[in-house]
């Protein structure tokens, strides 16, 4: 199921460093996030796709799965996807799940972790 962007709890914008996410990242947002990653990968084949997740306020196992699928899709397109900035919620989830190294060490906008 693909939520309507107008009623979605996750805002996805394209901009430096690649994608900026704000709101809630869960399984319902998988298709929208994958579409955004695919679009960025196509616009810069072989480039780095950074995700700024500083303003993500919620992430569950479906959101983690969505990030991993997007990472795999980026790799297949010859790109690299990583979280380049993260707020406390995302940092905590990546630390607890052991995915910090897989998705790139998240930082805050002020300082690295």
Q: Give 5's contacts (C-beta < 8 A, 6+ positions apart).
A: 32
- Strands (DSSP E) contained in 1-113 are 10-15, 18-25, 48-59, 80-86
Q: Using CB atoms within 10 A of its CB, is residue 4 exposed (0-12), middle (13-18) or buried (19+)?
A: exposed
- pLDDT at 44 (0 to 100): 83
At 96 the three-state DSSP class reads helix
Quick: pLDDT tens for 6-56: 557 899 999 877 899 999 999 888 889 999 999 998 888 888 999 999 999
Instruction: Identify the sign of the CA torsion 78, 59, 97, 91.
Output: positive
Task: Reply yes or no on whether the pLDDT at 112 is more than 70.
Answer: no
Supply the pLDDT for residue 54: 95
CATH number given to 10-97? 3.30.750.24
The domain locations on the chain are: 10-97
Render pLDDT for 100-109 as a digit per residue (tens, 0 to 9): 888 985 554 4
Half-sphere exposure of 13 (CA within 13 A, CB side): 10
CA distance 52 to 93: 15
CA distance 84 to 108: 8
Q: 64-102, pLDDT tens digit by residue?
A: 999 999 999 999 989 999 999 999 999 999 999 999 888
Percent of the chain with pLDDT over 90: 58
């Amino acid at each position: 199921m693909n939520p309507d962007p107008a009623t979605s709890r996750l805002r996805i914008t394209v901009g430096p460093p690649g994608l900026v996410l704000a709101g809630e990242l869960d399984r319902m947002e998988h298709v929208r996030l994958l579409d955004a990653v695919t679009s960025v990968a196509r616009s810069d084949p072989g480039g780095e796709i950074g995700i700024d997740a500083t303003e993500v306020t919620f992430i569950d196992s479906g959101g983690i799965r969505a990030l991993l699928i997007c990472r795999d899709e980026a790799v297949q397109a010859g790109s690299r996807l990583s979280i380049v900035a993260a707020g406390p919620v995302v940092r905590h989830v990546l630390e607890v799940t052991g995915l910090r190294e897989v998705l790139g060490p998240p930082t805050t906008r002020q300082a690295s972790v």
